[in-house]
Amino acid sequence: MLRWVRQQLGFDPPHQSDTRTIYIANRFPQHGHYVPQKFADNRIVSSKYTVWNFVPKNLFEQFRRVANFYFLIIFLVQLMIDTPTSPITSGLPLFFVITVTAIKQGYEDWLRHKADNEVNGAPVYVVRSGGLVKTRSKNIRVGDIVRVAKDETFPVDLVLLSSDRVDGSCHVTTASLDGETNLKTHVAVPETAVLQSVANLDKLVAVIECQQPEADLYRFVGRITVSQQTEEIVRPLGPESLLLRGARLKNTKEIFGVAVYTGMETKMALNYKSKSQKRSAVEKSMNSFLIIYLIILLFEAILSTILKYAWQAEEKWDEPWYNEKTEHERNSSKILRFISDFLAFLVLYNFIIPISLYVTVEMQKFLGSFFIGWDLDLYHEETNQRAQVNTSDLNEELGQVEYVFTDKTGTLTENEMQFRECSINGIKYQEVNGKLTPEGFSEDSPDGNIHSLMKEEELFLKAVCLCHTVQINADQTDSADGPWHANGIASPLEYYASSPDEKALVEAASRVGVVFTGTTGDSMEVKSLGKPERYKLLHVLEFDPNRRRMSVIVESPSGEKLLFTKGAESSILPRSKSGEIDKTRVHVDEFALKGLRTLCVAYRRFTPEEYQEIGKRLHEARTALQQREERLADVFNFIERDLELLGATGVEDKLQDKVQETIEALRLAGIKVWVLTGDKHETAVSVSLSCGHFHRTMNILELVQHKSDSTCAEQLRQLAKRIKEDHVIQHGLVVDGTSLSLALREHEKLFMEVCKNCSAVLCCRMAPLQKAKVVRLLKTSPEKPITLAIGDGANDVSMIQEAHVGIGIMGKEGRQAVRNSDYAIARFKFLSKLLFVHGHFYYIRIATLVQYFFYKNVCFITPQFLYQFFCLFSQQTLYDSVYLTLYNICFTSLPVLIYSLFEQHVHPHVLQSKPVLYRDISKNAHLGFKPFLYWTILGFFHAFVFFYGSYLLMGEDTSLLGNGQMFGNWTFGTLVFTVMVITVTMKMALETHFWTWINHFVTWGSIVFYFIFSLFYGGIIWPFLHTQDMYFVFVQLLSSGSAWFAIILIVVACLFIDVVKKVLYRHLQPTSTEKAQMYSNRVALSDEFIALQPLSRARNQLSKIRWKKIRVQSAQHVTLLKAGTEGRTIGNC
């Protein structure tokens, strides 16, 4: 117990070594010196709180917020000293905010607990005491042998021991982990693969040594030592042996595996860790404003305290006859009295800090984020995918983007590969009617005799069919006839691949006569022009981003050992010693200029001695526990040399719909677009030109193929000089990965200067971490621009997380980008609506919300400050304590919240059709110092009008009632408060451009509610109130015609100047947004845009779209007509 407590506190970490030793079935050594390692249990804990720590932990987290902590201090001060207002005035709003937030967080955590209990209580089968024992998932221990059946998920991270197949292989899908839906093959070591029964597994004596848990899903280093009679056999364990928790078993009846990582140490759980918290520019501005208002508060409190003592310097005011001091007060310390008075004024003016601002902003962000998901224009019918919001905290940041960093493949393109051309032995070929045809030749008889393949062509196609990770649908491979129907007609094989390139190449090879028909055990089967051949798979040299190639070593039917390699031309051509290298290089460049993705293919023959040496080196590297990756990389480089080049392939990846229009719109909006891709230089430039990223008239500068710092620096200086001298309006820059590394090493400032003067930048041959480094470089530059990164693959995750806003594309490269993004959309073209409409609206709404909150609190508390000049700074409150408490919670909260959800100052169609309007809100334009100063001065002006207007109209003549009774100070304060509630509510109405029935209801309803509440509060004697200063005050006030006249006159006086200012500015100096507002007034409002609609209608329309199979009796198509735009068609429903 003590050890557990120490571990929880972090004093006694459970793992001291770099590796862990696992005894299968927990058969520990019998000698007495062995101390078993301590491992985590198998409970998954995704919740933050427990029953015991919820209250203290939640309160601690909430009071870390400056505003909450400030109000707590004020509340404690009110409890400790004699203050002019009741502690309830600060305590109740604070309690409300804390309680609402705690209930929300508590409910969310309860849902997590519920989900955890379901997972931890799931039934599992474990091999114990010679039989299968049913237990709960949370009871699995490291070392237990677990049985998993078909279509079940793995409850822990397991090392595969055996399956129902002879070769010990199984298929799994990791869709829930990385989104990849293709089947992955995992294999057991031969010594345990034969143990297919519980009885045999119970006799297994083996030890696994592996690395300690880490989050990388694709990395696992270990080895298994199997004791057989007198010898011990050591086998390497890698990712192909590890079955991850959360993955699902497919096409395999059952498997047995040993638990190596459990509970919160599984790779799935280690990937739970939250992303670094991103903070929007609006939130930072809000905190700055809060500090300024805190300074104003301290200034008012100090000034009031000084003036009080200056006033009391005269004896007649220090101790007037009606308020004599006690003996204790006369003898008390002056310093303590000064501090006490200062704190009392601090309490009196504390409402200038808006406590409800944070909770209102949170509600606005949370509720507002639903509009993105409900937007029909962001819904993709073909894939039935709608936009997804993972982080609502950054909604307004969508309206501040200055740089967009985008991936190419799958983001700008469809990631649907189609084989177009290839180069074999220096000759270019195209596919014509299912046959390889040399360039310049045409096939006269497409349906004629079977086309024969030359030796070089056949070897090239076999290399394509053998060097890959493609799998075949199990229903086809497991059938008795294989991929053939009973009538002898071939059934097209259904291939699965994690890489669309590989799938396209294998399918192309099958169309021209060399068909990959599947794997059986350690053999790969190929049919070459109908003749079956079996190749024994000896080794797979996996692809990695550094090598940029993958290889397989196979044994041909004749017994020859062959290496087939496929990869980028930069990694294959330098390692080739024979073949048509120069011609192939020319062809690769030609393919790239056409925008095709290129791969080079090569092979090597091994002598028996060479293969024996290779096998020995591979075994040593794969069984190493330390620095395994480095050793394997060295061995792979040793193997993949002296290659004979076979040829190259060119695969086309089509551009997505409306990519060119979207990039052009981004450019008009003042957003610079950078394309970061791993493709080769020529391919990337070709695609950039075709998608409009580069213009044909653009002066394209290049920083490529630099090997040294000196040449890179010299080229950068020349580019900078050329940009200054050249009078071409736009420049584009192309930089490759190696040159970028050199530029960022010592010439970062010069490189940034060149980049900022270019309207478009293309970075090719980029590694994932380089992408993130480029984003960080721009993000941390002196201007600190707001960056957005968009991508669809796992290689884009680092830049998505690095950028201020990360957007994932729901593409074909898995869901890792979507899971790690802040927002997810189905197509790149949706980015324009997301930024120009949603981003614009969110920013305008929250900018107004934040400044309006400060404005209405200045209006609220400034009359209280002015009142002190008329009461000898006695700390007398102007308002009743109930009004102090409910002003921000009830009377003025709903209109601004509804405004922040529904406001649309310009019609969405105008915003999307005129991207230049996006420039008006860039660089936090509406939350800068000038707008903040305007709202603050306006607040002070209105407060002065409230107070002195009321004073002038009724301060001198207090007998405004018909019966001669006089108004008192509570009536005066209530008049000021009434004018204030009406004015600030009407000010919100003046700011509203888009009126719905909800806006009308909350705006006029707030004023009506204030009157009704005041009548009931002051018209009835409430037994639970100790004092009731407001009894009959409001009724008395409203019974005076003069008071009604004063209310109307003061409200009109305050708002008249606002109206005049708006009219004059709109006609004399209209901004582009105001011009667009006048234009949009002519646009008929429609239900075209989902963001316009009430929540219920939005939900209903989206539910209609979800049902893709609509029965239509007489029509071929169902057309959803959108007002003012083209029809949307669901074809052949």
Spatial contact of 516 and 524, defined as CB atoms under 8 Å apart: yes
Spatial contact of 810 and 373, defined as CB atoms under 8 Å apart: no
Spatial contact of 833 and 375, defined as CB atoms under 8 Å apart: yes
Phi, psi of 899 (to 5 degrees): -55, -45
Percentages helix, strand, coil for the chain (3-state, rounded to 5) are: 50, 20, 30
Could you give the CA distance from residue 203 to residue 192 in angstroms, rounded to a whole number? 11
In this structure, what is the dihedral angle of CA atoms 265, 266, 268, 273, given to the nearest 10 degrees?
10
Could you give the CA distance from residue 1037 to residue 1017 in angstroms, rounded to a whole number? 14
Spatial contact of 202 and 137, defined as CB atoms under 8 Å apart: no
627: left (phi over 0), alpha (psi -120 to 50) or beta: left
* Strand ranges for 238-350 from DSSP E: 242-243, 248-250, 254-261
3-state SS, residue 618: helix
Spatial contact of 694 and 681, defined as CB atoms under 8 Å apart: no
Bridge pairing between strands 823-825 and 1128-1131: unpaired
Spatial contact of 809 and 792, defined as CB atoms under 8 Å apart: yes
Spatial contact of 392 and 900, defined as CB atoms under 8 Å apart: no
* Distances in whole angstroms, Cα of residue 221 to Cα of each of 20, 269, 548, 928, 1053: 11, 19, 21, 53, 77
Q: What residues contact 607, with CB distance under 8 A and at least 6 apart?
A: none
Q: Residue with structure tokens 């962000």?
A: 365
Nearest to 540 by CA among 530, 560, 554: 554
Phi, psi of 687 (to 5 degrees): -70, -40
* Distances in whole angstroms, Cα of residue 834 to Cα of each of 353, 405, 455, 799, 808: 33, 16, 54, 19, 13
670: left (phi over 0), alpha (psi -120 to 50) or beta: left
Select which of 144, 407, 501, 880 is catalytic: 407
What single DSSP character describes residue 38? Answer: P
Q: What residues contact 448, with CB distance under 8 A and at least 6 apart?
A: none
Spatial contact of 167 and 155, defined as CB atoms under 8 Å apart: no
Could you give the CA distance from residue 232 to residue 567 in angstroms, rounded to a whole number? 39
Structure tokens at 947: 């107070």
Alpha helices in 152-236 (DSSP H): 175-178, 190-193, 198-202
Compute the chain's Rg from CA coordinates. Answer: 37
Q: Which amino acid is at 784?
A: K
Q: What residues contact 1033, with CB distance under 8 A and at least 6 apart?
A: 968, 970, 971, 974, 1018
Whether residue 407 lies in the annotated active site: yes
Q: Which amino acid is at 271?
A: N
Structure tokens at 1033: 């005050």
Structure tokens at 829: 């073209």
Spatial contact of 464 and 474, defined as CB atoms under 8 Å apart: no
**In b/e form, how buried is each residue of 256-279, taking b as 16+ CB within 10 angstroms?**
bbbbbbbbbbbbbbbbeeeeeebe
Q: Which amino acid is at 220?
A: F
Phi, psi of 973 (to 5 degrees): -65, -40
* Distances in whole angstroms, Cα of residue 105 to Cα of each of 54, 55, 108, 997: 10, 11, 5, 31
Q: Which of the residues are catalytic?
A: 407
